[in-house]
Structure 1
Amino acid sequence: MKTINRSDERILSADIFDRDAKPPRPQLGTIHEPGRDIPVYRQCDVLVVGGGPSGTAAAAAAASEGADVVLLERYNHLGGLSTGGLVLWIDRMTDWEGQHVIRGFAEELMDRLPADAVAGPPREDWGSQDPAKAHHWSFRTAAYHGVVTWSPTIDPERLKLLSQEIVIERGVKLVYHSWACMPLVENGKVCGATFESKEGRMAIRAKVVVDATGDGDLFARAGAAYTNDIEEADVHHCMNTSWMFGGVDMKRWIAFRSGDPEGYNAFMAGGREACGLFERPFVSWRDDIALFMGPRQAGYSALDVDDLTAVEVRSHRAMADHLDYFKAKGPGFENAYLMMSAPQIGVRHARRLKGVGAVLRSQWHEGKPLPDEIGVTPAVSPKFPNISIPYGALVPEALDGLLACGRHVSCDRNSHGFMREIPQCWITGQAAGTAAALAVAHGVEARAVDVRELQRRLQAQGVYLRAEAPVEV
């Protein structure tokens, strides 16, 4: 176990647990699969593969710009890790001054969720450095470095439903229970993808494909360059399956944690001894539900089926061990029960695109808008200004017909720590979908989209951009 402490480059302190030993996989040879004709399920302007935060935003944005859109999703819901992965804590959407910088599709979602499905600080407190307010919200995942931020927790079922209804009302063809297999590539250009479902293998042809798989499955299989190096001293490469306990009293737990630091430290030490893999609880959108977004497990690959299975097994066992320990010793957890484990495994990193541009650690100090800015992310600490997200981070170095969005956009390993978060995925997804629609409308490659027009369209959708000169909307 390693304990990673909060720093200027990390928001949370966290324990990281190393993997179990992995036996070698036997080499059993191969089988030959004969060629076959694959029926075409649909033809469209824009195919979005993956209905997580970025894919949902991409599909909604492309459709709002008039494109005929298909959204392919392997689960029975949209939202990805923000819903099925139980990442209920939506990271900071305000900067360290309290300015709301992650807007657009993200803001629409927060505004349209029912009031009882969102918990977080009131707007007038965003950016507050009042010690009492910062202390209060620091135990509710909404204050860091003494600053109150807009980092709400949400009801995942409400977000599933809202995400679904938004894409349907915009005319998107939504296809659940369908797992993309291989990109269709003709003359070096992606022109669709095959997918598997209960009907067998079928294909979708598209003028532009948006890879929102999170792991870069399509761009990697199409031959685009990517990287997968990791930052060892961070949690951004770890995996886990999250879970929730019901029947808790989080107000009591927070009173214990904030009012008895020595008792809390002793409790955590006892948990590590009793459970091995151990994690502290986070608040949710309700005081009677506790969220566990760990234990974070290092050394596993999100691209290895045996590793994925091992993380699920370890996480579910840890869930039961946590319940026993918390019920016996955790204030506010005496009546806790297993509510649910996440149907989606919590993958933080697999591949990152090599794009024509990138979000880089070396740019953090600059704070200036890049010429092709399509979004702005808050910096990881008040030490740094806001960080520009370039359109080039979504565009492969050489491959045409495809854009990437979500946690696998082009960035270095340090910047990936925040570029993989839910709000940043909404931002890059909205930009990818809008750009894909513009490419179709003008009959050009996605890399040739007029960036100024893209920026104008994003601003018309409510995205926050820092144009050097006023942009007419």
Structure 2
Amino acid sequence: MSRTENPVLTPQVLVVGAGSAGTAAAIAAAETGADTLLVEASGHVGGTLARQLLEHSAGFHDAAGNQVTGGVGQRIVTLLQEYGGSPGHIPDDVSYTATRTPVNHSELSMCEAVLLRRAGVHLLLNTVVVDVETAAGTGGNEGGGTGTTVTAVVAEIPGRGRTTIRPGIVVDCSGDAVVFALAGASFQTDRADATQPGSLLLKLGGVDYAPLLKYAADNPDDLRPDSRIGAAGDDHANLWGFGKLLARGHADGRLSWRRTEMHLAAWPSRGEAVLNLTRTAVEPGASHGDAYLKLAQQVMETVAWFREYVPGGRLAYLAEVADRVGVRESRRIRGVVTLTEDDVKQGRRSAQSVGQGAFPIDVHDANSAGLSHTDGLASAYDIPYGILVGAEHDNLLAAGRCVSSTHEANGSARITATCFATGEAAGTAAALAVLDGVAPRLLDVGELQARLRQRGVIGAR
């Protein structure tokens, strides 16, 4: 990456956001041959899956157990297994999907960093994108563009101040579509009043699983139907329910908000549990500071409730809290193609497929205490290349939860395994486009698909 005396960086590909999508995008772009810079607003890589303490990665397999996510996502899981930080893909105890992939969150982050280094990615941490410069006419017709490009991304770098980055292609994996927003792009507007709520996940230690699992076995009506109840000595367990205990806690005034279910990811042999329970409305693109303050109160109420109401919870203690508010949905770009609910439910195929998704449409209701969608899918659906390509700017791609999708379709596409897939596709496309000198929308999709197949991506036709 070249530098001058003035703080100007000129990577061929700039990836913004080092979560699941951004990590995959940066690795893919660098391995495809592009000089790649990854910038991340926090002090570490891994994003929501690692630092929001997400219970596990999901979406690697369809309902029949066929793997649908390979490539970088699978490479991360494999490396994590080698280091002992994950058992790999295991059956889902609650029968919501075929498999889930428990991870040690800190080890996941480190494994992603290892792969970024091996790929030769340049990484800037604690670096916040604060402005974007665009120009009309600079895209030109030579590369097949519309003439509107992002000419510079301005970032605040610790110890350096505001630094100008002049990339060839930008892949926005920020989750909130920060680059698109600063570039003046328009967004999907369906169900704008129903954006999914945010959460703050927490990890408990000191949980006695013998009485907890006995309660689960003795009260099958308080768990999701067809749940598998394991043993106290198991390494991993997955429990979804506890609505009766939650209702009691709310009625008694112990829980200030109402929830109909809790998701508990368990490590019985270690006495640990990650709880997905807290909830509040979040504004797309906001700092989420007020939401954090509200959720912090809910975290403490959850710990007290767990000790008093959940069998085996008497000696539980708060071991860790996510370092960020977990955002399920925010801005979704307007792309060349939009993924719809019907595409997802019908398992629709696309001649321009760059990967597949298969997780149920999972939508937490913004206006109730439960979920509005838990729609299982009979088969995988294709990810069309066009949902990654911005409709209004020549050199902007997106991956992760901000891809071009409807509210319902995003309930499936936002899942981490699918974010790995969209990130890898976008990063590979960005590298090919900048090396071939064309706008991403006019990239030879056949060439892109061939490259993705070589990388082990599943569903790139």
TM score, norm. by length of structure 1:
0.81
1:120 shift after superposition: 6.1
The code of the aligned residue for 1:176 comes to L
Tell me which residue corresponds to 1:18. Answer: none
2:116 to 156, 167, 188: 167
In structure 2, the CA distance between the partners of 1:459 and 1:251, relative to structure 1 (3 Å rule), is farther
CA contact (8 A) 2:81 2:87 kept: no
Does the residue aligned with 2:99 lie in a helix, a strand or coil? coil
Instruction: Say if 2:430 is the partner of 1:447.
Output: no
- Deviations along 1:157-203, one digit per CA (max 9) or x if unpaired, are 00110111111111111110111111232322013311112221111
Tell me, in whole angstroms, the C-alpha distance in 2 between the residues paired with 1:171 and 1:265.
Answer: 48
In structure 2, the CA distance between the partners of 1:253 and 1:231, relative to structure 1 (3 Å rule), is farther
RMSD over equivalenced CA pairs, Å: 2.2
2:327 to 321, 325, 347: 347
Tell me which residue corresponds to 1:296. Answer: 279
The code of the aligned residue for 1:377 comes to G
- Deviations along 1:194-246, one digit per CA (max 9) or x if unpaired, are 1112221111111111111111111122122212443777xx61112111111
The 5 Å alignment of 1:56-135 reads: 56-114=23-81, 116-119=84-87, 122=90
Tell me, in whole angstroms, the C-alpha distance in 2 between the residues paired with 1:433 and 1:265.
Answer: 42
Tell me which residue corresponds to 2:197. Answer: 238
CA contact (8 A) 1:364 1:384 kept: no
1:261 shift after superposition: 4.2
- Deviations along 1:69-114, one digit per CA (max 9) or x if unpaired, are 0000011111110011111321221111110011111111111103
In structure 2, the CA distance between the partners of 1:76 and 1:347, relative to structure 1 (3 Å rule), is same
Instruction: Say if 2:285 is the partner of 1:317.
Output: no
1:303 shift after superposition: 2.5
The code of the aligned residue for 1:405 comes to A
The code of the aligned residue for 1:351 comes to R
1:250 shift after superposition: 4.0
The 5 Å alignment of 1:118-267 reads: 118-119=86-87, 122=90, 137-138=93-94, 143-144=95-96, 149-187=98-136, 188-198=148-158, 199-230=160-191, 237-250=196-209, 252-261=211-220, 264-267=242-245
Tell me which residue corresponds to 1:130. Answer: none
Tell me, in whole angstroms, the C-alpha distance in 1 between the residues paired with 2:113 and 2:338.
Answer: 30
CA contact (8 A) 1:40 1:205 kept: no
CA contact (8 A) 1:53 1:79 kept: yes
1:281 shift after superposition: 4.7
CA contact (8 A) 1:105 1:426 kept: yes
CA contact (8 A) 2:399 2:423 kept: yes
Does the residue aligned with 1:113 lie in a helix, a strand or coil? helix
CA contact (8 A) 2:81 2:88 kept: no
Does the residue aligned with 1:223 lie in a helix, a strand or coil? coil
- Identity among equivalent positions (%) equals 30
Instruction: Say if 2:450 is the partner of 1:456.
Output: yes
Tell me which residue corresponds to 1:270. Answer: 248
Task: Tell me whether 39-48 or 74-83 shows the greater mean CA deviation.
Answer: 39-48
- Deviations along 1:94-152, one digit per CA (max 9) or x if unpaired, are 11111001111111111110364224664xxx6xxxxxxx7xx11xxxx22xxx61211
Tell me which residue corresponds to 2:432. Answer: 438
Tell me, in whole angstroms, the C-alpha distance in 2 between the residues paired with 1:76 and 1:332.
Answer: 36
2:265 to 283, 289, 293: 283
Tell me, in whole angstroms, the C-alpha distance in 2 between the residues paired with 1:346 and 1:84.
Answer: 9
1:379 shift after superposition: 5.1
CA contact (8 A) 2:285 2:331 kept: no
Tell me, in whole angstroms, the C-alpha distance in 2 between the residues paired with 1:254 and 1:96.
Answer: 26
1:391 to 381, 385, 393: 385
Task: Tell me whether 381-390 or 279-288 shows the greater mean CA deviation.
Answer: 279-288
Tell me, in whole angstroms, the C-alpha distance in 2 between the residues paired with 1:275 and 1:101.
Answer: 39
Tell me, in whole angstroms, the C-alpha distance in 1 between the residues paired with 2:214 and 2:8.
Answer: 56
1:398 shift after superposition: 2.2
1:364 shift after superposition: 3.5
1:251 shift after superposition: 5.4
1:438 shift after superposition: 0.1
The code of the aligned residue for 1:304 comes to A
In structure 2, the CA distance between the partners of 1:281 and 1:352, relative to structure 1 (3 Å rule), is closer
In structure 2, the CA distance between the partners of 1:446 and 1:286, relative to structure 1 (3 Å rule), is farther
- Deviations along 1:368-406, one digit per CA (max 9) or x if unpaired, are 420110111115255543211111001111211111111
Q: Which runs of 4+ in 1 moved over 6 A?
A: none
Does the residue aligned with 1:185 lie in a helix, a strand or coil? strand
CA contact (8 A) 1:191 1:208 kept: no
Does the residue aligned with 1:301 lie in a helix, a strand or coil? coil
Tell me, in whole angstroms, the C-alpha distance in 1 between the residues paired with 2:207 and 2:87.
Answer: 17
1:363 to 343, 346, 351: 343
1:374 to 354, 359, 380: 354
CA contact (8 A) 1:47 1:206 kept: yes
CA contact (8 A) 1:61 1:430 kept: yes
> What residue ranges of structure 2 are gaps of 5+ in the alignment?
137-147, 223-241, 361-374
Tell me, in whole angstroms, the C-alpha distance in 1 between the residues paired with 2:276 and 2:166.
Answer: 38
Tell me which residue corresponds to 2:9. Answer: 42
Tell me which residue corresponds to 1:470. Answer: none
TM score, norm. by length of structure 2:
0.83
CA contact (8 A) 1:93 1:151 kept: yes
The code of the aligned residue for 2:399 comes to C
1:434 shift after superposition: 0.1
CA contact (8 A) 1:79 1:159 kept: yes
